[in-house]
Structure 1
């Protein structure tokens, strides 16, 4: 039974140690992790490093640097660009090589900005996304064990050719019984934009994302997140998925992902 995505396993020097659970397993390959759990864990590390600075995250960029094994991992953070109004933080996930050394498998960079009162000029370019009845359809990976068992996926009815819409909610904590922030919960689902906006049949093509870039004009709230996504495929095996992100209060921000597209034999 999946009851969390990671278990805390102590500390080694400047590195936090975690055990990856079955809830991190990718729908593409059960030996590697889905992108959302690493994004969420590294977001947690950045939030903890930024605690007390008075800054808030405006952009998160996940770069997947290699196959992320479902195995023990290390997380380390650093301040790349210090500042009282603008700061850049970096969190890396490392996995062990066969020789016992460690390699970076994922990196999240985050721009943190100083908040100020702009209540009187607040605006959002998209109307709120309202959750309706589920269509009864899920996704092309229905029944895949692992990560997709750890989230609720509620596909909405949309016109043919329009961007797909799915409401998602994490079903388990990110780390053991530790509290999970709303931003971490969003990170636990937003990498699924690629699957939501799939423009190709995964029985015929692999289209794995190399990154996930999230821009947030406000912090998310709650447990439920709507993602409206659509993929575009170029003529040379490279694609892009673009998405809008919502919570129950309305539009939160955007997401974009670069895709490597390969035809299956």
Structure 2
């Protein structure tokens, strides 16, 4: 039974050490991790580092630097560009090579901004997204995949008024680390990398379309544990694609995400 994505093993110098559970396994390949768990774990490292700074995260960028094995990982965070109003922070995930050296497999950078009172100037680009009855049938194209997809509730919604967008509401079903509290931003990170699957423009039985990154812009921090993702995929003529999405919580529109896709024909 999967009851968390990572288990804390302690520390190794500046690095926190975690065991990756079966809940991190990708729907593309069970030997590697889905992008959402590393994004969430590195986001947590940045949130921990930012405590007491008075700044809040406005943008997160995950770069997947190589296949991330389901194994013991080491995570650290640092301040890349200090500032009292604007700061850039980063976190990285390392794994051991067979020869005992280590390689970075994922990195998250985050812009943090000083908050101020703009409640009287709020503008949301989109109206709130209301969850309806989930469509019958398969919620996604990887119904029998084990691992990460077992750790989220995925409720696909009817077509978005005939547009090219696909909509799903998602909720994490397990904590990020052991039984430790998980913030709303970490919960969003635990599902947002799935925008690629929600807005799939291709049949995954015929094509691989894995993302190399996930970039999230947030004009408002998320709230709760349920997130609506309205996603669209575009595929170019040379094996490169992109997925863009609008992100919502129960209160309304919170931001956007974008992903670059490697597209390859299977078989």
Residue 106 of structure 1: CA displacement?
A: 0.2
Structure 2: any 5+ residue segments left out of the alignment?
Answer: none
Residues in 1 aligned to 2:245 and 2:265: alpha-carbon distance in whole angstroms:
24
Residue 143 of structure 1: CA displacement?
A: 1.5
SS state of the match for residue 74, structure 2?
Answer: strand
After superposition, give the CA deviation of every residue in 1:54-83 in whole Å (9 maximum; x if it has no partner).
000000000000000000000011110000
**What is the match of residue 264 of structure 2?**
262
The TM-score normalised by the length of structure 1 is 0.99
Residue 139 in structure 1 maps to residue 140 in structure 2: yes
RMSD of aligned alpha carbons: 0.7
**What is the match of residue 154 of structure 1?**
155
Residue 40 of structure 1: CA displacement?
A: 0.2
* Divergent runs of 4+, >3 A: none
Residue 160 of structure 1: CA displacement?
A: 4.7
Structure 1: any 5+ residue segments left out of the alignment?
Answer: none
Residue 162 of structure 1: CA displacement?
A: 2.5
SS state of the match for residue 77, structure 1?
Answer: strand
The TM-score normalised by the length of structure 2 is 0.98
Which runs of structure 2 are paired with 1:157-176 in the superposition (5 Å)?
Answer: 157-158=158-159, 159-176=161-178
Residues in 1 aligned to 2:249 and 2:50: alpha-carbon distance in whole angstroms:
23
After superposition, give the CA deviation of every residue in 1:201-246 in whole Å (9 maximum; x if it has no partner).
0000000000000000000000100000010000111000000000
After superposition, give the CA deviation of every residue in 1:131-169 in whole Å (9 maximum; x if it has no partner).
000002311100100000000000000155530000000
Which of the numbers 241, 244, 249 marks the counterpart of 1:242?
A: 244
**What is the match of residue 179 of structure 1?**
181
Residues in 1 aligned to 2:44 and 2:97: alpha-carbon distance in whole angstroms:
25
Residues in 2 aligned to 1:110 and 1:202: alpha-carbon distance in whole angstroms:
31
Residues in 1 aligned to 2:59 and 2:164: alpha-carbon distance in whole angstroms:
26
